[in-house]
Structure 1
Amino acid sequence: MPHCIVEYSANLNGQALVDLVHQGALASELFQAQGSDIKVRAIPYSEFKTGSVDISFIHVTMRILSGRNDEQKTMLTQRVLMQLQTLIKVDCSLSVEVVDIDRETYSKVVV
């Protein structure tokens, strides 16, 4: 845990974004020390509109098991944003949100 979904404009480097989101989540120290429980995947978009101007975008949804407080969630989003800002050299809209996964109903199996 967490499941990080990176949506981004296709003119950006998807693998670099995946790596940076992983590093940001790891830096939060909310997850396993080696980062082995951090899952990141990316979805590029070639067709998009960001307001009234054409700029790149990155939106990260971080789905985590419920139980973290608002301070921890804010720190997590800030760590991920800081990592992403190291890559961006063009006008870009960056956003990160944390979504709680209900512990009572979440199921997982590794086969």
Structure 2
Amino acid sequence: MPHIIIEHSEDLPLLPQVLVEKIHTTTFESGLFDLETIKTRAIAYQHYQLGVGKEGFIHIAVHIMAGRSIEQKQLLSEQLLACLQTYCRASDSLSVNIYEMDHEIYRKN
């Protein structure tokens, strides 16, 4: 079920589709989700401003249904950040956040 949205600067050290594939695979390898339920997409930004010494950025927002433990969410965010660190420059600003969605409110067809 997770919806993974990768926001990033245009000057990535790897192709955006490769980043999507790496994050998608890492999410599956967490053991928390079935492969057919994971949805991953990326949005590139042309205009942005970063802190001193930062060349680019990647922020991953993971939207999941409520009910996972804090430990499961921490593990997922740590694994995704480690994946980013493997493929990105030390000068990139990297971040991950897990957002919970309410079963009573979320709708899909």
TM-score (ref. length: structure 1):
0.90
TM-score (ref. length: structure 2):
0.91
1: CA distance between counterparts of 2:4 and 2:44?
14
Matched residue type, 1:26: F
- Contact 2:63 2:99 survives alignment (8 Å): yes
Following superposition of structure 1 onto structure 2, how do residues 6-25 of structure 1 map, counting pairs within 5 Å? Answer: 6-12=6-12, 13-25=15-27
Name whichever structure is richer in helix by fraction: 2
Paired residues, what number? 107
Q: Once the two structures are aligned, what percentage of the paired residues are identical? A: 40
Post-superposition offset of 1:89: 3.5
- Contact 1:24 1:80 survives alignment (8 Å): yes
Matched residue type, 1:65: M
Look up the match of 1:59: 59
Instruction: Please give the root-mean-square deviation of Cα atoms over the aligned residues, in Å.
Output: 1.2
- Contact 2:61 2:97 survives alignment (8 Å): yes
Instruction: Pick the aligned partner of 1:26 from 25, 28, 53.
Output: 28
Post-superposition offset of 1:68: 0.5
The runs of at least 4 consecutive aligned structure 1 residues that moved more than 3 Å come to: none
Specify every segment of 5 or more residues in structure 2 that has no aligned partner in the other structure, as ranges: none
